[in-house]
Amino acid sequence: MDDKTHAPNPDNFRWDNDGTADVLPGTATRPTAGEPLASVIDRAISRRALLKGSAVAGATLVIAPSALLAPSPAAAAPRHRDPGSRLTFETVPPGNEPDIVVPPGYSVDILLRWGDPLTPAAPEFDVDQQSPAAQAQQFGFNADLVLWYPLPRLVARSVGIRGRLGAIANRSLGLLYPRLATQTSRHALVVVNHEYTSGVDMFPGYDSAAPTAEQVRIEIEAHGFSIVELRLGDDGRWRFERGSPFNRRSTGSTPIEIAGPLRGHALMRTSADPDGVEVLGSLNNCAGGKTPWGTILTCEENFDQYFANFTAVTGASRAVSERIPAPDGASERRWEDVVERFDLAKEPNEYNRFGYVVEVDPYDPGTPAKKRTALGRFKHEGAAARIARDGRVAIYSGDDARFEYVYKFVSAGTYDRFDRAANLDLLDRGTLYVARFDVGDVAGDDMGDGVWLELSPENPILADWTLEQILLDTRGAADAVGATPMDRPEDVEVSPQTGKVYIALTNNSRRTEPDEANPRIANEHGHIIELIEDDPADLAFRWNILVKCGDPAVAEHETRFGDVTDPIAAGISPIADPDNLVHDDDGNLWIATDGQYFSGSVGFGQNDGIFAVPVEGTDRGRLRQFLSGVPGGEVCGPEFSGDNKTFFCAIQHPHDGEAFAKLWPTDETRVSRPSLVAVRRNDGRKIGR
């Protein structure tokens, strides 16, 4: 607590609530950002008539508001009559303690910290003896996404013997995965994203004006993601298995395949890769999601910050990035001084090879990760999957910058649980859509309907575009079709119980024109939208605002928590800047925040944390705090083990920009160590209930 006498300096909060887009390039003014709602709707109606083959055709405007919240007949009924009532943990008060706070009866284990060796050969972390080669085998920096996967014995055996996943084990895994993913498993694989680095928190004596070549190379290796094996002990604690053949790092220099429609395209070719089929590294991996066949979707978010000299890029390569530009001159990181491909004056097309959803199979260390270009190029934050009735697969994704959009991809092929190998390339062919949120029957009631607008040359508005142009300049195509600019769409999650889609909108202090789905001017604390489709292949949806964040005790915050009429009496916690999401197996939504301490114009003054909110039943909207993080540290990647007896999260940039006597989680005083954390109940029962 006394640490807090060192008040954090907002000027040091370099990445601006993780909304890097706000301070870095990439938020170039959009043609439709300030457009009055009426004209958006007028355009919408005329455009609707144009849309070829659209199933929407006016039908979305006649749904009665009372029907908007009704569960769709296609959706599975919640397993329990009133799941919210089962959340019985004691609310954690808002605070700014120097350590993680969880409810009484719970314990916190730190599983991995930045620099921890991931293989038997990797050196132990030594802050004064860092090297790129060591970092490439150690847990990376700034942990974000966390995903848990059960590890069946036959898969472990197959990889143990061959070093890669055999065909029979792969087929068996496809059959077993959906069931095992919701059960107890004593062996598991966990993926953790390493979103970005900050030299000042990594290197004692760091000079940000002149980073050394060695420091730059270490930072490149500290990016990407880690896949690690964890083993559950009899004491209920997960422990990292350093000798596991599944442990691996993908860094900012690891070869990754370019897959989908942009593979081999002229704008994807560089001097090092004249065929346009392989790129080095995945960068700024933020949130992500799991596919139904048990692979990882890890998302490249603020990739613009790594490149320099966009001003030298011309012609077609420039045109596809006008809406997502890199810095005109030098980058803040100065990687271009050390690694030539980050200098766009020398390698203009390298920039086109970032900004994608990357799919990787955690079960097969023998296969490379793949950039799935069919899902478009923007600042991807999350990727959530849902299977349609006909077997096609929808992937929902947000573009995290102010006034950007929410997208959905629907695969052309269908999911086949009997053929996991075939599922592995399902995301290379399909159709991309972007969301337009409409008013519905009544204006100002925090609900409405909407349509998914097709982003392909089949849409008459995009008849002059090629598919490749659309996938490279996805924001530009979404502008053209009239998508709804949102208040920073971050993580997106699908409820496994109901199929409803939840979208975290972190904040948007620059909003001057409210609309139905982003109703607050200068939205300081963010909101969460619930999107309801009968089937994920549908082009029409209904939506409502589940939570308008803020402090329920402060009237000016104009909060909303489901349909709770007296949030103070209901014991609802103050919350700001919702970011990453996950559901527990009762369907309750768990929310991680990013930037609460400085949220809004006057600050919120509490550490980031984890909050749980029932979304069905009488307790819908009764949001309460479960965990409080550490000063300066964003809480990321909320995730549950299959049996819901462990809750995982990551603490990103602990003590960012602050001078503290002790830097959680170690006694180290010079560098910050982002970490993977597990929370368990001391009585071994399910989290929260």
Largest CA distance in the chain: 66
Q: Output b/e per residue, 322-348; b: 16+ Cβ within 10 A.
A: ebbbbbeeebebbbbbbbebbbbeebb
Tally Cβ neighbours within 10 Å of residue 597.
Answer: 26
Q: Is residue 292 within 8 Å of 415, Cβ to Cβ?
A: yes
Please give the helix or strand (H or E) that residue 616 lies within, else none: none
| Token pair recorded at residue 278 | 């392989």
* Minimum distance from residue 22 beta carbon to ligand FEO (Å): 10
448 binds, among Ca ion, ligand FEO, none (CB under 5 to 8 A by kind): Ca ion
301, 336, 454, 658: residue in contact with ligand FEO (rule CB under 6 A): 301
Which residue of the chain is nearest Ca ion when measured via CB? 440
195 binds, among Ca ion, ligand FEO, none (CB under 5 to 8 A by kind): ligand FEO
Which residue in the block uniquely carries the two structure tokens 């090092």? 272
Please name the residues in contact with 70: beta carbons below 8 A apart, sequence gap of 6 or more: none
Dist CA 361 CA 353 (whole Å): 20
| Token pair recorded at residue 457 | 């040359």
How many positions of this chain bind Ca ion (CB under 5 A)? 8
* Minimum distance from residue 300 beta carbon to Ca ion (Å): 13
User: Where are the alpha helices (H) located in 440-572, listed in sequence order?
Assistant: 467-472, 474-481
Dist CA 285 CA 191 (whole Å): 11
The residue among 20 and 484 lying less far from ligand FEO, judged by its C-beta, is 20
445, 585, 643, 668: residue in contact with Ca ion (rule CB under 5 A): 445
579, 639, 656, 658: residue in contact with Ca ion (rule CB under 5 A): 579
| Token pair recorded at residue 209 | 């004006």
The residue among 440 and 609 lying less far from ligand FEO, judged by its C-beta, is 609
Question: CA dist 617 to 45, 581, 614, Å?
Answer: 35, 20, 8
Q: Regarding beta strands 357-360 and 370-372, do their DSSP bridges make them parallel or antiparallel, or are they unpaired?
A: antiparallel
Q: Is residue 676 within 8 Å of 654, Cβ to Cβ?
A: no
The residue among 125 and 597 lying less far from ligand FEO, judged by its C-beta, is 597
| Token pair recorded at residue 9 | 């300096």
* Minimum distance from residue 26 beta carbon to ligand FEO (Å): 12
Dist CA 520 CA 432 (whole Å): 29
616 binds, among Ca ion, ligand FEO, none (CB under 5 to 8 A by kind): none
3, 241, 487, 594: residue in contact with Ca ion (rule CB under 5 A): 594
The residue among 18 and 219 lying less far from ligand FEO, judged by its C-beta, is 18
400 binds, among Ca ion, ligand FEO, none (CB under 5 to 8 A by kind): ligand FEO
Q: Does 440 bind Ca ion (CB under 5 A)?
A: yes
Q: Is residue 199 within 8 Å of 214, Cβ to Cβ?
A: no
The residue among 20 and 331 lying less far from ligand FEO, judged by its C-beta, is 20
How many positions of this chain bind ligand FEO (CB under 6 A)? 7
| Token pair recorded at residue 557 | 């915050």
The residue among 473 and 579 lying less far from Ca ion, judged by its C-beta, is 579
301 binds, among Ca ion, ligand FEO, none (CB under 5 to 8 A by kind): ligand FEO
Please give the helix or strand (H or E) that residue 14 lies within, else none: none
Q: Does 528 bind ligand FEO (CB under 6 A)?
A: no
Q: Does 381 bind ligand FEO (CB under 6 A)?
A: yes
Dist CA 588 CA 585 (whole Å): 7
| Contacts (CB under 6 A) with ligand FEO, residues 14-33 | 18
Binding mask 7-46 for Ca ion (x = CB under 5 A): -----------x----------------------------
The residue among 169 and 486 lying less far from ligand FEO, judged by its C-beta, is 486
In 463-577, which ranges are E strands? 486-487, 489-494, 501-505, 527-532, 540-548, 560-561
Sign of the torsion formed by the C-alpha atoms of 250, 251, 257 and 259: positive
* Minimum distance from residue 244 beta carbon to ligand FEO (Å): 28
Please name the residues in contact with 29: beta carbons below 8 A apart, sequence gap of 6 or more: none
The residue among 286 and 676 lying less far from ligand FEO, judged by its C-beta, is 286
Dist CA 410 CA 389 (whole Å): 12
* Minimum distance from residue 441 beta carbon to Ca ion (Å): 7
| Contacts (CB under 6 A) with ligand FEO, residues 452-491 | 490
* Minimum distance from residue 417 beta carbon to Ca ion (Å): 32
Q: Is residue 406 within 8 Å of 486, Cβ to Cβ?
A: yes
The residue among 201 and 594 lying less far from Ca ion, judged by its C-beta, is 594
Q: Does 400 bind ligand FEO (CB under 6 A)?
A: yes
The residue among 97 and 381 lying less far from ligand FEO, judged by its C-beta, is 381
The residue among 280 and 439 lying less far from Ca ion, judged by its C-beta, is 439
Q: Does 448 bind Ca ion (CB under 5 A)?
A: yes
Which residue of the chain is nearest ligand FEO when measured via CB? 286
Burial of 130 (0-12, 13-18, 19+ CB in 10 A): buried
Q: Which stretch binds Ca ion (CB under 5 A): 36-44, 361-369, 593-601, 642-650?
A: 593-601
* Minimum distance from residue 516 beta carbon to Ca ion (Å): 5
* Minimum distance from residue 182 beta carbon to Ca ion (Å): 26
440 binds, among ligand FEO, Ca ion, none (CB under 5 to 8 A by kind): Ca ion
Dist CA 165 CA 231 (whole Å): 20
| 72: phi then psi, degrees, rounded to nearest 5 | -70, 150
Which residue in the block uniquely carries the two structure tokens 């075939």? 422
* Minimum distance from residue 594 beta carbon to Ca ion (Å): 5
DSSP 3-state of 396: strand
The residue among 397 and 484 lying less far from ligand FEO, judged by its C-beta, is 397
| Contacts (CB under 6 A) with ligand FEO, residues 137-196 | 195
* Minimum distance from residue 485 beta carbon to ligand FEO (Å): 16
User: Where are the alpha helices (H) located in 292-366, listed in sequence order?
Assistant: 315-319
Binding site for ligand FEO (CB under 6 A): 18, 195, 286, 301, 381, 400, 490
Binding site for Ca ion (CB under 5 A): 18, 439-440, 442, 445, 448, 579, 594
